Structure 1
């Protein structure tokens, strides 16, 4: 048994934990990151799980939020080995009838394709793009800073005006299905918006789904859906390398068993082997809110209302994922799908609603909506020349028993959906690897039951309702303890804001205002957005 003292302990080496550690070492703190798994990265990891020479991203794969995030950009990870790549086209939605709506890098090309679905829809798309470009910077600032975003909110109001702000507020609560009907005459635009909204777990006819679809579609139009060269794990490796270069330490294979609280304040952690780490200034936890408060802190240390609210914490839908080694390019019927890094498929506009209805009543969808990743199309290093490293995932209901027969049936649904839009796909598959929801959790405990967003993205658990009503910030009821995971505002996605906000809160609580300023000047918050 040993005892060590540092300025701050970070529990978990997922992207948020590593971002938090980077912010703290930039401020001159002595930082120790403790990770239970044998490798860093959390849900940002890559491995050969199908066939030799085929590198598959095990969890997340495309990173529009990271590419746009002032946090990630400000860390200048290119100096630590990160190199972004992009597919020829951003995204396509392939329909069973052979058509595809395509999100190109050039908005004018996207617009031209949407005009083929219905005349005038291209202009409607370009209007969305112009609106995004007008408010982009203050909006991203507002999204990625602690709630309430006072300064960025003022800038957003100044940029958009009263009428524009009202339109944005309406967008924030408009269902994506309604948004598509209001803006477009044909299917193409609504397919792109709704497919992007379905990356989260918010149904297409639910309040808040519109802003998710709009945000991801506009980010795709702005920065694309980039991937790290060599695999998602290279993003985690660059974050970790930067921590170490700044003087921080990272220990993998070290499970934190408890947050130690003395006099009502978090003073350190105890690991599974009985060792203790004292923290002079703070403990930052890149774990889910239920795991932190129930398992590491203990409910007895929490206010009664928070204990009650944790009982109502809602997880997002689990994920079922299949990885493939494909011996030749995917034989898409729609030419527009061939150069897209991400392909949406399996459903038409009404099918989105059917899939969501199945999930809401606990049924595995017979015709699921799926995301399909063509990783070699984006990054040629992912597999041998002329082949494709590919994956697809679908959302499935909580509580499903994944027997061998249930797994086989769902893999059949997934591959049948691909076969409908890419005849001959099955014959091209060299090998496959299946990740059930329980497999995702076994590889990363924060993916509880296969849920990948740290809790539902529905409006009742966002902003100041995240992770429970009244928080919306990284501070917790235990002084010295900060929530740095996707369970905190602004939620899921690889953008680093949850970890960054926790680090800023820890620095502020320690009275290190000068350190806060020094850390800020090393990020794009001031260089790109003109302040936080």
Structure 2
């Protein structure tokens, strides 16, 4: 606090979502005085838990299973286990249920996964193992490259060294393959192909979109390699560990402090203003864990930005809206196919063609009559989530992106979701003790970063990834305003709970501030931005 009554810090972080907390922790590790300003009354953003269905039933309010978080070198480097974070796994990672009731089951034991894929076509078991061998050969540099600033020079060179030229070209082709084509080329049966294609629909990509194949392959192979674990005691434990670590390092968090302006002088971020007129000064950097349109258009303003950047933001595309439902069940899910019972995550209930029809409805702005559901059996994955013999269940599905949804449309879609569940688990409705529905408006009201219920910070389509994310530029967290950094899922590498956007923003701020290179860094980034946006 200065003599003027203005609170100061080396860095002001806008937003206490997991990316903002990761950035704050890394800056605190470097000895910076860090202040986090959170608009709501609680930290965590989309990484939170609460009892919302019935007493004794714990629900993850937004995100839930964390293969990316578990594999992330960013979160692993923070050693959150020393702050109370522990992981647990369901007996099976994932079950994809086809329309005829058969299920392709992914287990952390590769041979068990292969056995399931083999039931759909002779030889698909070995093909699954071969695909997993391909993954293991490059997984370490590939995962590291995903979570580092673009371009990933060191990990990219290691990846190239492992693959050689021919292998690198084939990987480049795989990076842009649609998941439908990926499945056709690798497998003969529909089980493994549908499982991977449905993994791609954790984003907003259809089976026929370029790049969807690599997303499906990545999530499926992470499931094979490390599983899709959950924190013991709920997603909130990730947030609690990040907050505890930050406080232990001397960081501060102020709640109910909604930033409405980044303060800029001579093209440099000097601090922020919150609603009500309070001013918070940043001696070294401002980092924003908010969506890109909110940062640039609302908090900065077009007057401080290159006109080309403002124009490009007109083409920024959100991912789909989301409706999520949590249920407290008096017993386990009565699945018709018992193979589904042990899976933490269940995909219901379509083949690749059905996934394409579902995605086409969304692209046309229509509500799918037979929605593709992602289902989480949380007590199956973590026995602490509900009383013994019961189940804490959730499901979500995507809707076309809209800022305004009628309550009756959301309610009708929830009825469709429950009909799908009842079809594959007859008696499900009779087990429901309590229910909690979160439509797009509900999600955004509780977490302002989930604009229109979009959970990915912007589409995962190839035209808005890498150096094109959030708009054509550098693919880095630096902005045209000196000492201001984008630290949200709108920045490369995008959505998911892995902490990379926050870590990349923190690293950029540290690089800018280094005594010997700070001026050079700022001039180089400024020149690059002028070249891109002039």
Counterpart of 1:492 (choices 490, 495, 518) is 495
Q: How does 1:280-319 map to 2 (within 5 A)?
A: 280-319=283-322
With structure 2 as the length reference, what TM-score do the two structures score? 0.95
Gaps of 5+ in 2: 519-534
Report what 1:177 is aligned to.
Answer: 180
Q: Could you tell me which residue of structure 1 aligns to residue 281 of structure 2?
A: 278
Residue 116 of structure 1 corresponds to 119
Match of 1:95 in 2: 98
Cα deviation digits, residues 365-408 of structure 1 (max 9, x gap): 00111100000001111111111011100000123863343223
The Cα of 1:255 is off from its aligned counterpart by 1.0
In structure 1, what is the equivalent of residue 402 of structure 2?
A: 399
Residue 230 of structure 2: which of 227, 230, 237 is its match?
227
Contact (CA 8 Å) 1:9, 1:33: kept in 2 or not?
Answer: yes
Q: Displacement of 1:346 after TM fit?
A: 2.8
Structure 1 residue runs without a partner (length 5+): 516-532
CA contact (8 A) 1:463 1:489 kept: yes
Which residue number corresponds to residue 158 of structure 2? 155
Give the whole-Å Cα distance in 1 for the aligned partners of 2:141 and 2:388: 42
Alpha-carbon separation, structure 2, partners of 1:210 and 1:310: 27
Q: Who is 2:469 aligned against?
A: 466
Q: Could you tell me which of 200, 203, 216 is aligned with 1:200? A: 203
Deviation at 1:251, TM superposition (A): 1.2
Distance 2:238 2:515 in 1: 29
Q: 1:141 to 1:383 in 2, by over 3 A?
A: same
RMSD: 1.4
The aligned length equals 515
* 1:98-134: CA deviation from partner (whole Å, max 9, x where unpaired): 2110010111110011101111001111111111111
Write the distance in 1 (CA, Å) between the matches of 2:516 and 2:24.
17
Q: Does 1:501 align with 2:504?
A: yes
Distance 1:191 1:239 in 2: 36
Alpha-carbon separation, structure 2, partners of 1:250 and 1:105: 39
Q: Distance in 2 between matches of 1:346 and 1:308?
A: 41
Provide the secondary structure at the position in 2 that maps to 1:259. strand
Partner of 2:484: 481
- The answer to whether the Cα contact below 8 Å between 1:286 and 1:484 also exists between their aligned partners in 2 is yes
3-state SS, counterpart of residue 395 of structure 2: strand
Once residues 467 and 169 of structure 2 are traced to their aligned partners in structure 1, the CA distance between those partners, rounded to angstroms, is 20
Take 1:131 and 1:512, find their aligned partners in 2: how far apart are those partners? 44
The C-alpha deviation readout for 1:193-252, integer Å capped at 9, x for no partner, is 011000000111010000000000011111111111111111011011100011111111
**TM-score, length-scaled by structure 1:** 0.95
Match of 1:331 among 321, 331, 334: 334
Structure 1 counterpart SS, 2:319: coil
Aligned to 1:10: 13
Deviations 1:326-355 (A, max 9, x none): 110001112221010000003222110100
Asked whether the 8 Å contact 2:404–2:441 carries over to 1, the reply is: no
**Cα 1:129–1:72, aligned 2, differ >3 Å: closer, same or farther?**
same
Residue 278 of structure 1 deviates from its aligned partner by 1.0
What's 1:442 paired with? Answer: 445
